[in-house]
Structure 1
Amino acid sequence: MRRFAPTRKACCARDTPPAHAGVLRRGGRCAVTLITLLVALALSAPAQDSKPRPALLLDLNGVIGFVAADQLSKALARAKVEEAPLVIVRLDTPGGLLSSTRDMIRDILASPIPVVVYVAPSGARAASAGTYLVYASHLAAMAPGTHLGAATPVSLGVPGLPGSPPQQPTPDKDKKSPEPDTGPAAERKAVNDAAAYLRSLAEIRNRDADFAEKAVREAATLTASEAVKQRVVEVVVPDVAELLNAIDARKVATVSGDVTLSTKGLTVVEIDPGWKAQLMSIITDPNIAFVLMLIGIYGILFEFMNPGAVAPGIIGGICLIVALTALSVLPLNYGGLALLLFGIALLVAEAFVPSFGVLGLGGIAAFVVGAFFLFDPAETSFGFGVAWPLILGAAATSALLVIGIMGFALKARHRAVRTGAEEMIGSVGEVLSWIGTQGQVRVHGEIWAARSDHSLARGRKARVIGRVGLTLTVEEVA
């Protein structure tokens, strides 16, 4: 049988791999490389996420009000979005509005993120409403040289006198009764409500409820060191860095469960309140709002009295709108506002009606009383209102401005007319020609047709006593 040896071409065809095999090998290497990169990224992701997020620091200085409540609400919302481990509120306040304080406490109690209230720097205080915020916080701290307490509603201190400080009980009364007398039933009711509210916060945060009772009923206060001993605050530290070290590994209870803090070496981001919040904080001061309201009222009043002046109306309108914006978030007493406006109306009337000062005195009295009762003290936790020196100064200034300026306006109204058709009355001119009862006269350099009941000689002086159209009625000057 005859066999044939394989040809060269056939051998090469068996030894040479197919062309698509190289493509598969290259694709396999790329796939391995891609998988390696994805695994490396997956392994590095936990390391990035494990980096602690910064804590947020909010400064609340001055009166607790609408602006402070809004700042805290926004800070807590931002903390949720950024997943911040905690929010530090650096507090220094004499007190504030009860409604705003309760709003802030509700936000703190409902926050899943721990809130640390830090009374600082040295020399700061958490008086009145500030004490409630300290008790509501998940953790409380104070700087050396600070104090808290005096949570008695001041409007309940002396019956019939809003804004006065509460009367301190005498030692004899303390021995006879464990609870000092707080006055009428309405006052006792309000004090009991405030005391129960603060005690409830103490029970939630496991703080000293006895001091909470004394802070409301007796206006008791504590220094930083005393507050730690009585379990009102947890730590006393000089600055925020020491605060983070002191509260590290502490466990706090939030609405979402217990949280163990890991704050040692944590970075802190301070929240910028922004120019709008700073502006609102300024204009919501009762003294500033009071001054803006007066400027607005008088500016518009003077614009009505002197139409076309423009500037008083523009300035008054702007100030009045800004004042109304501030008053909308303040505890306004509409009875006080009505008295204030009535006093201004009486002062204006004094300039027009000869009342021998009766209207002026009544206006000043109504103005002062209205300014004193302009804000409702029952809605605040401390002496909130317009300062006495400002009230008296504004009353005196208002009396001088209104009576003085209105007096000048009346004098100007009684002066002789200098322009227009009426200005011709009383003017003296020269007779140029005259026939019978009619002729021509020159008045103020102008030649006018004239008539008179008597014949006038050429060149004589004649006084204008009337005008009908373009004809003057004149009489001879003796």
Structure 2
Amino acid sequence: MKIWRIAIYMLILLAGISGLFIPVQQAESSGEGELVYVIPVEKEVERGLQAFLERSIRTAEEEGASHIIFEVDTPGGFVDAAGGIASLIRNAEPDTTAFIVERALSAGAYISLNADQIVMAPGSNMGSATVVDGGGSAADDKAQSAWLANMREAAELNDRDPVYALAMADRSIEIPELDITDDNILTLTPGQALEVGYAEEVLSTREEVLSFIGYEDAEIREMEVTFSEQVARFVTNPIIVPILLSIGSLGLVLELYSPGFGIPGIMGASALILFFFGHLVAGFAGLETVILLGVGIVLLLIEVFSPSFGVLGFIGIGAIMGSLVLSSYDTSMMLMSMFIAIIVTVVASVLFFKYVGYNGPLKRVVLVDQAGNDQGYVSADTKSELKDQTGTALTILRPSGVAEIGDERLDVVSEGGYIEQGRKVKVVSVSGSRIVVREVKD
């Protein structure tokens, strides 16, 4: 019954969120003639943003847009996602404008440089594009060299002086006219960007940008991030992925060792559903990954309730791990996330079993009861009446042998030492068939 409840819960939750897959676009105003799409580039640069921009640019191209305005406000993000977004912008069929409404830092500066032209709002800034690793330290020379090459290429794409792009990423480059000396990173204000040719104009509003590019009478359509895409952007973040996998695996493991269908199972199932939902929306996973996951779960359940000496269990675990890897955009990142999840699950499970115990469905297939003398379990009836009686050793006791106690010949064991045949012995303890005797000194 418990398994059926889990399956029903997952189906209901999936049905409830399935409607969120439908992308939405809104028309801000309408008119005859040209069509301009406005696409926001907001928050952190990651794979979820890349998936949203890919959908948005494809929609603009299919609708025959003449121009795309990217409204940029981002503190930066991940280099691999920035590279994918830059490629989308460079290869877009319509002309493109990056309108920096507040900040285009780090990866945001690189993305903006790939647009055909750049317009900045008063008070905005662009630059500070150094590369750091996951720990916040400067990246190694190889990564830094590749990033500098990307910044140079993006600047030269529209005939901009690459020295300023390089100064955004390399502290060693000095630009005295902008007061950039050794150990400083270049961040351009709108006036500075206009002066060095990194911005075509400084404008305050979208309407002014439309007038500047010659589309003030065009129909404007604004792409918006749907709720499902917001969820996808969150759950595909490389920091969130190992957390979700840890919650999912730990929750399902603890559910197997707890009665009823409770909080661990709900948390575990929800975490895994969110993981696959986000990766499906982002376009990283397909239906085949969900099918592979389902096959893995079914095989594990069969192994639990109809053991096959571990064969089906290992295949099921392999199928689940394969579905996770196939749904990822970065295999190495996913393997690391899975490793973290396994470590967290093992450690937390050991602590849980040690201090809480378990009382779930696996108790039906795992023997946990113990039968010992302290619980009153013995292998034969205890002849407690023999205690303190005396008799004679009929054989040498070293330490076991035969003694006559009363009118019975009994198998006995000495308390610890060697006892000669014919010596007088006394029963000191009886437990089931075990009779312990001690030699009686004259």
- TM-score band by shorter chain is 0.5 to 0.7
TM-score by length of 2: 0.56
Aligned residue type for 2:255: E
Give the structure 2 partner of residue 274 of structure 1: 226
Task: Give CA deviations for 1:152-202 in whole Å, capped at 9, x if unaligned.
Answer: 2112xxxxxx43254xxxxxxxxxxxxxxx9xxxx3333222212211221
Distance 1:336 1:266, change over 3 A: closer
Distance 1:111 1:286, change over 3 A: closer
Superposed, 1:24-43 pairs within 5 Å as none
Q: 1:293 Cα deviation (Å)? A: 2.8
The answer as to whether partners of 2:130 and 2:168 remain within 8 angstroms in 1 is yes
Identify which of 61, 69, 73 aligns with 2:42: 61
Give the structure 2 partner of residue 341 of structure 1: 342
Distance 1:192 1:92, change over 3 A: same
Distance 1:112 1:92, change over 3 A: same
- Measure, in 1, the Cα distance between the counterparts of 2:338 and 2:189: 40
Whether 2:122 is the aligned partner of 1:141: answer no
Superposed, 1:239-388 pairs within 5 Å as 239-248=205-214, 263-309=215-261, 311-323=263-275, 328-329=328-329, 332=333, 334-335=335-336, 337-339=338-340, 341-349=342-350, 351=351
The answer as to whether partners of 1:290 and 1:323 remain within 8 angstroms in 2 is no
- Measure, in 2, the Cα distance between the counterparts of 1:64 and 1:305: 40
Structure 1, gaps ≥5 residues long: 1-49, 156-161, 167-181, 249-262, 352-401, 413-421, 428-450, 455-478
Q: In percent, how many aligned pairs have the same letter? A: 23
Q: 1:310 Cα deviation (Å)? A: 5.2
Aligned residue type for 1:60: V
- Measure, in 2, the Cα distance between the counterparts of 1:119 and 1:311: 45
Secondary structure, aligned partner of 1:52: coil
Q: 1:287 Cα deviation (Å)? A: 4.9
The answer as to whether partners of 1:143 and 1:238 remain within 8 angstroms in 2 is yes
Task: Give CA deviations for 1:235-291 in whole Å, capped at 9, x if unaligned.
Answer: 11111001112233xxxxxxxxxxxxxx13334211133232122122224454444
Secondary structure, aligned partner of 1:154: coil
Secondary structure, aligned partner of 2:118: strand
The answer as to whether partners of 1:88 and 1:118 remain within 8 angstroms in 2 is yes
Give the structure 2 partner of residue 408 of structure 1: 356
Secondary structure, aligned partner of 1:141: strand
Give the structure 1 partner of residue 130 of structure 2: 152
Distance 1:315 1:337, change over 3 A: closer
Give the structure 1 partner of residue 166 of structure 2: 213
Give the structure 1 partner of residue 80 of structure 2: 99
Superposed structure 1 runs of 4+ greater than 6 Å apart = 451-454
Distance 1:426 1:110, change over 3 A: closer
Aligned residue type for 1:209: P
Aligned length: 278
- Measure, in 1, the Cα distance between the counterparts of 2:166 and 2:255: 55
Give the structure 1 partner of residue 156 of structure 2: 203
- Measure, in 2, the Cα distance between the counterparts of 1:101 and 1:143: 22
The answer as to whether partners of 1:152 and 1:216 remain within 8 angstroms in 2 is yes
Secondary structure, aligned partner of 2:135: coil
Secondary structure, aligned partner of 2:126: strand
TM-score by length of 1: 0.52
Q: 1:322 Cα deviation (Å)? A: 2.5
Secondary structure, aligned partner of 1:189: helix
Task: Give CA deviations for 1:34-57 in whole Å, capped at 9, x if unaligned.
Answer: xxxxxxxxxxxxxxxx93223111
- Measure, in 1, the Cα distance between the counterparts of 2:226 and 2:337: 33
Identify which of 113, 118, 125 aligns with 2:99: 118
Aligned residue type for 2:127: G
